[in-house]
Structure 1
Amino acid sequence: MLIGPRVPGIGSGGPRIGGFGWLSDRTVTFCAPGDLYCATERTDFVTRLAGFLAQNSDPGSSDSPRYGDEATMIWNDLLGAGGIPTLQNQLTDEANKGRRKQLERFYGSGAHQDYQGYAVDGAGNTPTTWLAGWLRDRA
């Protein structure tokens, strides 16, 4: 369950296939606006593929079994969006310059590390204060 403002997309790594297993009903997630790790557009296949390759770079990862499902999901999404020509259009010099600027803004923003810089509810709670209250209520 996403806590806070809705963000576009599904992130560079895509949704976690199978959620969090038996913990799924007891987990929440936060995504700061501008955090490409969790808010990359579904149709940004270059970033999704880069995220997939980065996640799969640890051959000893316990997540390895789900990578086949993730690869299939990305491939099916790509085919549904026009296939290889769509990917080629995302790899032009102009598209790469835009992606470079987007990544520079993202890395410079600290969005993926800053959980004190945005409110997730009407009371003005940040992700950390919201989570502290949520955990306290469950103790």
Structure 2
Amino acid sequence: MNARRKAPRRRRRGLALFISFIALIAVIALVLILIWVKGLFTGPPEQPGGRPPGTSTPTTRPEAQPASCPDMLTLVVPGTWESTADDDPLNPTSKPASLLLRVSKALSNEYPSSRTEVYTVPYVAEFRNPTNLGDHQTDYNDSRTQGYKRAAGKIIATHEKCPLTTYLILGFSQGAVIAGDLASAIGNGRGVLPEGEADLVRGVGLIADGRRMPAEGRHIGPNPPGVGAEVSLGGMGSLVPGITMTGPRTGGFGSLQDQVVTICAPGDLICDAPTVTNPLGAVNQLMGAINNPVHAMYATKKYWSLNGSSATQWMYGWATGVIDEAPRPAHN
């Protein structure tokens, strides 16, 4: 009986995600048409210039840290509609279908909190459709900013108390944008961790990064030719209120280039969007993907798989390797 009740709920949840995906595609298509009409694009965005040299390991780290500090902080940033601002970061329950819960729960069960604290960033995680006057969700800009500040704040607070703790950062969709932005800031010496401390970040795992660039990070499995939607639409600025497409990350991931792994399924328009050299062709490609909601399927092997693993299974396996190989600092 319970199984019969749950099945319609799953179908309704899947239908809601599918309708939201269609609305997002419609917004992107509209923006592409406006860009074409206004002549804002003259070609694909240029790749960021050379990265600064890697930062050196500081010599002022203590020999031990407080006993309450974990060896590693695993920071998890959920995607759009997969978190709430008031959720419990150590036991998130507000969105039980959240994709990254498949990874974070498994990690929590695998390791004691002394080895890694698994912290899921609670943030509003919404994306208001500006073409729908009845949509009262939080604007994407505000949601992304809140997520970034809370994620960065957790790292900053942890480092102040636990200077030897290392970091694993995971993100999906909007959360991958946030996690990738953290990696870019740290890897290029732009804050979050003090300059010279970037080596504390042992790994960054991104699924469906909206600022994905084919030459940035280490691409796992298929490496489709498109770019992240925020890169594809980076020339629009603030053409649509509340949605600022930020373009490629300045300096890429800097000294963390080799620590970042990124997964993108071919045809997922969040991370495999067309560059806008042919706007009409881009619109046709976007609209043709409406019946192929790849973005919601990373827990399955339907659109992305590697050696028999789904994206979430692969990410879990990789994350355990990062945690196992992380240093075990002394405690006092």
Letter in 2 for 1:125: S
Report the CA distance shift for 1:16/1:120 in structure 2 as closer, same or farther (over 3 A). Answer: farther
Aligned residue in 1 for 2:222? 5
Letter in 1 for 2:296: Q
CA deviation map 1:79-132 (0-9, x unaligned): xxxxxxxxxxx46xxx2xx555432332432212221233442x2211111110
When structure 1 is superposed on structure 2, of 7-16 and 128-137 the one drifting more is 7-16
Alignment equivalent of 2:319, drawn from 118, 135, 139: 135
Question: In the alignment, does 2:327 pair up with 1:110?
Answer: no
Q: CA deviation at 1:30?
A: 0.9
C-alpha distance in structure 2 between counterparts of 1:16 and 1:120, whole Å = 27
The runs of 5 or more residues in structure 1 that have no matched partner are: 46-89
Q: CA deviation at 1:29?
A: 0.9
CA deviation map 1:66-86 (0-9, x unaligned): xxxxxxxxxxxxxxxxxxxxx
Alignment equivalent of 2:264, drawn from 31, 41, 44: 31
Letter in 2 for 1:38: C
| CA contact 1:3–1:120 (8 Å) conserved in 2 | no
The runs of 5 or more residues in structure 2 that have no matched partner are: 1-217, 232-247, 324-332
Alignment equivalent of 2:251, drawn from 18, 36, 42: 18
C-alpha distance in structure 1 between counterparts of 2:252 and 2:223, whole Å = 18
Q: What TM-score do you get using the length of structure 2 for normalisation?
A: 0.24
Q: What SS is found at the alignment partner of 1:130?
A: helix
C-alpha distance in structure 2 between counterparts of 1:2 and 1:16, whole Å = 16
Q: What TM-score do you get using the length of structure 1 for normalisation?
A: 0.50
Larger helix percent:
1
Q: What SS is found at the alignment partner of 1:28?
A: strand
Report the CA distance shift for 1:119/1:10 in structure 2 as closer, same or farther (over 3 A). Answer: closer
Query: Which is bigger in relative contact order (C-alpha 8 A, separation at least 6)?
Result: 1
The structure number with the bigger radius of gyration is 2
Larger strand percent:
2
C-alpha distance in structure 2 between counterparts of 1:40 and 1:119, whole Å = 16
Equivalent pairs, count: 88
Aligned Cα root-mean-square deviation (Å): 2.5
C-alpha distance in structure 1 between counterparts of 2:271 and 2:250, whole Å = 14
Letter in 1 for 2:322: R
C-alpha distance in structure 1 between counterparts of 2:285 and 2:304, whole Å = 23
C-alpha distance in structure 1 between counterparts of 2:315 and 2:258, whole Å = 15
Question: In the alignment, does 2:274 pair up with 1:41?
Answer: yes
